[in-house]
Amino acid sequence: MKILIASDSYKGSLSSLEISKSIQKGFKEVFEDVSFKTLSMADGGEGTTQAIVESLNGQYITIDCHNALQELIQASYGITSQGAIIEMASASGLPLVKEKKIREANTKGTGELIKDALDRHCQKIYLGIGGSATNDGGIGMAHHLGIRFLDKNHQVLEPIPENLPFIEDIDTHQLDSRIKDTQIIVMCDVTNPLCGKTGASTIYGPQKGANEKDIQFLDQGLKHLVEICIKKGYQDYSEETGSGAAGGLGFGLMTFLNAKLQSGIETVLDVVHFDEYVKDCDLVISGEGRIDHQSMYGKVPTGVSQRAKKYGVDTVCIVVSIGENVGDIYNYITTIESCIDHCCSLENALENASENVYKAAFRLTRSIQLGQKMRH
């Protein structure tokens, strides 16, 4: 039996590789003739850099940069055979700021990570854009890469949301020339447009500290940015799916860096060459911390299972917990095994996570064994 283990991590508990080791231990107690391949997985959000670096034996790069409020921090990204793997949240993420100052927060730190990757001769950059503290339309990122946003007197504005209404011109003469030779692929499963009732400011502004007055101000500021971009000859990406992701960073990346937005899980599957691994397998084991109806939309288990199904390979899942309304997921996944086999506290579950995964894998193998006996 050839098994491909392609699980997301259990956030705050086990990495994909740790999960794989426990699954292998459980299977080997029942099946002697079994071989395993492991791919660490993620959906483009938190943990994506780690998953791809682990799967491709890449390396981590750590640099000094700035968080969303311009405080000096250190942030890491990955370099692999496929290019640079960056999570914008590692520099511009919400957990990195002590105060929520939405009108001041910008994406300069993300620009610093991109520039460092360019300095290391990366010509392909994969960028995950979840978990931001920002709502600047990407102007902080663009400024660090050489674009200048000017006021009516042609003075350079500080690239923060507070100054969005005052932008009257965009100077691209100093844009890093390496950008035009660099392919930037954005991993994004957020579908929000830039502005309006379902836009960046309205939907995600409150969790970043925006009150009603801030939301209106920010939304109008981003609309103004769009107007100036159109005047300067840029294509209007403001209604594109995902342009409102990460406080409009999706818009900024498409507009200023000619980036392409793609599904996070689909991109990860392609980057780690999932198809090459799965087509020779008999079974795929995937999983995540909690599986529920939301897992059908861009999450690891359904992304993995849909890709595996193209090759006629079934997918089973080992998860920490099974939520409500999972019925439709069985259209994609053959069966789901929960790690938790008795009532316990969260602390207890976390403390015994490896053992719980091992036991769940053992139970799963017994079910497979029964199925084999009944077939004969």
Q: What is the pLDDT of residues 195-207, one digit of tens each?
A: 999 999 999 999 9
Q: Indicate whether 25 pLDDT > 80.
A: yes
Q: Dmax over Cα atoms in the chain, in whole Å? A: 83
Residue 278, SS3 per DSSP:
helix
In the chain, % of residues over pLDDT 90:
81
Homologous superfamily, domain 2-41+273-375: Glycerate kinase; domain 1 (3.40.50.10350)
Q: Indicate whether 344 pLDDT > 80.
A: no
Among 53-67, 187-201, 331-345, the minimum mean pLDDT is found in 331-345
Where in the chain are the domains?
2-41+273-375, 48-264
Q: Residue 297's pLDDT is what?
A: 80
Q: Residue 185's pLDDT is what?
A: 98
Q: Residue 9's pLDDT is what?
A: 92
Topology (CATH level 3) of domain 48-264: Glycerate kinase, domain 2 (3.90.1510)
In sequence order, which residues have a C-beta less than 8 Å from that of residue 104 and are 6 or more positions away? 69, 160, 161, 162
Neighbours of 256 (CB within 10 A): 23
Q: What is the mean pLDDT of residues 235-262?
A: 97
Q: Is the dihedral of CA 187, 191, 193, 195 positive or negative?
A: negative
Q: What residues does 59 pair with on adjacent strands?
A: 79
Residue 181, SS3 per DSSP:
helix
* Banded model confidence at residue 292, pLDDT cuts 50, 70, 90: confident
208-213 long-range Cβ contacts below 8 angstroms, 24+ apart: 208/94, 208/100, 208/102, 208/105, 208/132, 208/133, 208/134, 208/135, 208/247, 209/99, 209/100, 209/101, 209/102, 210/102, 210/135
Q: Indicate whether 327 pLDDT > 80.
A: no
More confident residue, 371 or 182: 182
Q: Residue 365's pLDDT is what?
A: 92
More confident residue, 370 or 73: 73
Q: Indicate whether 121 pLDDT > 90.
A: yes
* Banded model confidence at residue 28, pLDDT cuts 50, 70, 90: very high
pTM over 0.95: no
**Contact status, residue 218 vs residue 184, Cβ threshold 8 Å:** no
